[in-house]
Amino acid sequence: MATEKTPFHKRLTRAEKAQDEWKMKAIERREEGEKLKIEVRRKNERIETLEKSLKYLQKELNRSKDKNEKQEEVIGDLKKKSLKKG
């Protein structure tokens, strides 16, 4: 702590140094904040891409299920016809 015995120029130098350190820390925090914003934006874009892929794959799955159900119906009909003939 500064006392009255501490020369003015030393107190002034210390205050200026502390002010410079505070400014540097503020700049570093701001840069870190920008980096985090960029990272969040990238993650959000990735999530959007994955959601689109999920929707597409769900549609494909539903189409495949529908095809399988139709094929099972056809197979069942063919079995019934073959049992009636035989």
Scanning the structure block, which residue is given the tokens 């400014």?
Answer: 23
Taking residues 30-46, report their average pLDDT: 98
Would you kindly state where each structural domain of the chain is located, as residue ranges? 17-86
66, pLDDT greater than 70: yes
Give dist(CA 78, CA 86) in Å, integer: 12
Rounded to the nearest angstrom, the gap between the alpha carbon of residue 22 and the centroid of all alpha carbons in its chain is 32
- 81 confidence band (pLDDT: 50, 70, 90): confident
1, pLDDT greater than 60: no
Q: DSSP letters of 30-64?
A: HHHHHHHHHHHHHHHHHHHHHHHHHHHHHHHHHHH
Predicted TM-score (pTM) of this structure: 0.60
